[in-house]
Structure 1
Amino acid sequence: MFRQRISSIVNQMSDSIIFDRSDSVISSGMNTLRHLSFPERRDAYIRGRTLNQQKWYSKKAHINQHRATASWTLLTLIEVLAIVLASGRVFGKWDIDSAGLLAATISAGTAWASVKQYSPLASAYSITTKELGIQASKLKTVREADWALVAADAEEAISREHTTWLASRTGRFSSWKEI
Structure 2
Amino acid sequence: MPFDFPAIYKLAGDLAASSQSRYFRLLKAEYGLLITASVLSLGFSTSKVYFLFSVLVFFLSLACMLFRMWDKPEQDWYKGRALAESVKTSCWRYCMRAEPFFHSSDISIPREGFREHLLGIFRSNRNIGHKFSPSIGVDHAATGSMDSVRLSDLHARKNYYLKLRIEDQEEWYLRKAKHNRRASFAWGVIGASVYALAIILSMFKLAFYENFFYPMPVLVALATSIVGWAQIKKFNELASSYTLTAYEIGLIKNKINEVESEESFSDFVNESEQAFSREHTQWVARQFS
TM-score of the pair, normalised by structure 1: 0.84
- What pairs with 1:56-95 in structure 2 (closer than 5 Å)? 56-92=172-208, 94-95=211-212
Cα distance in structure 1, aligned partners of 2:235 and 2:141: 34
Runs of 5+ unmatched residues, structure 2: 1-99, 102-113
Percent identical pairs in the alignment equals 24
Q: What is the one-letter code of the residue matched to 1:158?
A: F
Per-residue CA deviations over 1:30-72 (Å, capped at 9, x if unaligned) read 2112222111111101111111111111111111111111110
2:247 maps to which of 107, 130, 148: 130
1:53 maps to which of 150, 169, 174: 169
Q: Corresponding residue for 1:102?
A: 219
Greater radius of gyration (CA)? 2
Per-residue CA deviations over 1:111-136 (Å, capped at 9, x if unaligned) read 22112111101111111111111111
Runs of 5+ unmatched residues, structure 1: 174-179
Per-residue CA deviations over 1:140-170 (Å, capped at 9, x if unaligned) read 332223111121111111101111222333x
Task: Describe the shift of the 1:111–1:57 C-alpha distance in structure 2 as closer, same or farther (beyond 3 A).
Answer: same
Q: Corresponding residue for 1:119?
A: 236
Cα distance in structure 2, aligned partners of 1:11 and 1:166: 20
Task: Describe the shift of the 1:21–1:117 C-alpha distance in structure 2 as closer, same or farther (beyond 3 A).
Answer: closer
Q: Corresponding residue for 1:160?
A: 278
Q: What is the one-letter code of the residue matched to 2:258?
A: T
Q: What is the one-letter code of the residue matched to 1:141?
A: E
Root mean square deviation, CA, Å = 2.3
Per-residue CA deviations over 1:92-117 (Å, capped at 9, x if unaligned) read 17421223431332122112211211
TM-score of the pair, normalised by structure 2: 0.54
